[in-house]
Structure 1
């Protein structure tokens, strides 16, 4: 195991001080290698030390303008601080440099989703869902984007896929309940709201939806 591999292993084990020392030593030995700066940036990001993490990622891009993972790290720095507009460019850069994994597509899609630019989020979340078909969170967020853009049939199919991956997903049931209401299928909506509440009794939105349906049925 190389020294840098050992540093990553320390991170996985939660031994952050040991990891920091390894990355520091590697940077001192090889100050022109961007990988060490990226790894240290990842450690600092994990510790929510965003300002220092950003400096390490920036240094990596100065050493190698094609360091896609450094731009991905920069995007995460901005995203975690809810600077969604600032996060878009580095995520886009990471993708343009060939980081063909679900994560950058997903995170770029999420920046648009949180910025309420739902249509712009769709192609990135769709690509992430294709690259990571078994990832529950990816599939769920893609379903939300589809619902927000009124593509309800596709959203319904995606939320059902979420439930196939994770049977007890209260938010998927809640959203299927909302779609059923749009389709005027009251019984199905009530069933989904009940299932959401069975999984998560404090699910306020599902509880509100259930009460609205019960009130509608009483007034009939």
Structure 2
């Protein structure tokens, strides 16, 4: 007997969304109280932009199984997209509480706190995200930004330099490292980083402004 849930996921991965929808619909008709099916159908709806309908399926999965960590995480993503950050915070937090331990949920909760300027709350989650996947440059960058926002300038420099040591081609990394060095009154180092940012992105206005300010001193 074919595993319709597995088959539906395979069709989604192949980009055959209409076929996947048909398979999931049949599966849900047969077993409407399967929380995993509800989450997967919600994921399909989210993939085609039906966010409100997707949310309904995630909440239904939670009603069926209140420990369905992936349902909380998926609902958190929807609320994040809708810029309903308090609700996103709640659902991401619940996903972790219910045992979800992957990097994505820590990163998303950290970013959600960052968007609310709750930097002390964001810091441990971004740190955990960076620890779980040290190769994730975005997680490291956001961790560095959060450190800087909290006045942990030496720590932020160390985090940004983890990225510059890899020769990342992200002008914002060099710009923020330049700002950190300027804060430490190391003007030559700051100028070096602003120049690198401009080399990567010639129209980087903030780096250009930073360079001009330093050169005028």
Task: Name structure 2 gaps, 5 residues minimum.
Answer: none
Q: How far apart are 1:78 and its partner, in Å?
A: 0.6
TM-score, normalised relative to structure 1: 0.92
Q: CA 1:55 to 1:129, structure 2 compared with 1: closer, same or farther past 3 Å?
A: same
In structure 2, what is the Cα distance between the partners aligned to 1:49 and 1:164? 42
Aligned residue number for residue 41 of structure 2: 40
Equivalent residue of 2:168, what SS?
coil
CA deviation profile, 1:136-189 (whole Å, cap 9, x unmatched): 111111111001001011111111122344521211111100011011111111
CA deviation profile, 1:26-60 (whole Å, cap 9, x unmatched): 21222121111111111222233221111010110
Equivalent residue of 2:188, what SS?
helix
Q: CA 1:49 to 1:146, structure 2 compared with 1: closer, same or farther past 3 Å?
A: same
Answer yes or no: is 1:101 the counterpart of 2:102: yes
Q: How far apart are 1:84 and its partner, in Å?
A: 0.7
Q: How far apart are 1:22 and its partner, in Å?
A: 2.1
Answer yes or no: is 1:142 the counterpart of 2:143: yes
In structure 1, what is the Cα distance between the partners aligned to 2:162 and 2:7? 38
Aligned residue number for residue 121 of structure 1: 122
Equivalent pairs counted in the alignment come to 216
Q: How far apart are 1:111 and its partner, in Å?
A: 1.1
Moved more, 24-33 or 63-72: 24-33
TM-score, normalised relative to structure 2: 0.93
CA deviation profile, 1:56-107 (whole Å, cap 9, x unmatched): 1011011111100000011111111111111111111110111011111111
Moved more, 102-111 or 164-173: 164-173
Aligned residue number for residue 3 of structure 1: 4
Aligned residue number for residue 52 of structure 1: 53
Moved more, 126-135 or 143-152: 126-135
